[in-house]
Amino acid sequence: MAVLEVVGVSKTFGSGELAVQALKPTTFSVEAGELAALLGPSGSGKSTLLLSISLILEPSTGRIVMNGQEVYNSGWTGIDVRRFRRENIGFIFQQHNLIPFLTAQENVALVMQLNGASRREAARRARELLGYLEIGHRADSLPANLSGGELQRVAIGRALANEPLLVLADEPTAALDTNRGTKVMAMLRKIARERGSAVITVTHDRRMIEGFDAVYYLDDGRLSATEPGGAQLHLPRGGSPEAARAVAGGEGKP
């Protein structure tokens, strides 16, 4: 089953003469364990798409189904959106956005506690998760004492705190050098492969998308699996054709 199904989702900001259709009707889906990248120039609608599927930004049209649950259909479907997001979606921003006066472990544990874990249980699981992300030795450090790459890995830990089925990242390596960026991407790959989460990441850097299952390209709000004027960017993963299935285009039916 698809973790995420997006059908004819569009987003228009403003109204009348000032209206900007940042995202044209967009249709695609991702499967459990699939690693997808979203490329495109600045202003093409990448963040708008990511924020829409993270249920932070309300779309203007279309339908969104996550793990079989319809969450949007020309309007929120009546689910508790904030709770659904907290339980099902992990979001990684360009900047780590960690709380400066909490340690790495406390930053991750806090999100677990918000979801109902006891303080003790959250502390234990946060430490374990940081270990999994190969940053366990920094668990008791404050953000100010961590490098950029380490901070972003803690931020990944926070995004994974509640074991989301969908992990979304908006240019998570933009503030990092190539070496550290590659390591962060390797972590995202590991999450998809080992934990079975679907991972969608926006990136500017083509060197970062090696080994991805699907690559989508956004241009002026229009999503395609092919770069304008050229190369097929869609990279099916061996042995799992359905994982790489992509139905991208502008004619999705709401």
Residues that bind ligand ADP (CB under 6 A): 13-14, 20, 22, 40, 42-48
The C-alpha atoms of residue 236 and residue 76 are separated, in whole angstroms, by: 33
Q: Please report whether residue 162 would count as binding Mg ion according to CB under 5 A.
A: no
Of these partners, ligand ADP, Mg ion, none, which one is at the site of residue 101 (CB under 5 to 8 Å by kind)? none
Of 40-48, 73-81, 103-111, 183-191, the segment contacting Mg ion by CB under 5 A is: 40-48
Whose tokens are 């006891």? That residue is 118
One-letter amino acid of 183: K
The C-alpha atoms of residue 181 and residue 245 are separated, in whole angstroms, by: 27
Of these partners, ligand ADP, Mg ion, none, which one is at the site of residue 234 (CB under 5 to 8 Å by kind)? none
Q: Please report whether residue 44 would count as binding Mg ion according to CB under 5 A.
A: no
Whose tokens are 């930053």? That residue is 107
The C-alpha atoms of residue 177 and residue 204 are separated, in whole angstroms, by: 13
Of 44-52, 109-117, 125-133, 232-240, the segment contacting Mg ion by CB under 5 A is: 44-52
Tokens of 77: 């479907």
Of 10-18, 39-47, 56-64, 217-225, the segment contacting Mg ion by CB under 5 A is: 39-47
Of these partners, Mg ion, ligand ADP, none, which one is at the site of residue 40 (CB under 5 to 8 Å by kind)? ligand ADP
Specify whether the CB–CB gap between 189 and 211 falls below 8 A. yes
Whose tokens are 């503030």? That residue is 175
Of these partners, ligand ADP, Mg ion, none, which one is at the site of residue 211 (CB under 5 to 8 Å by kind)? none
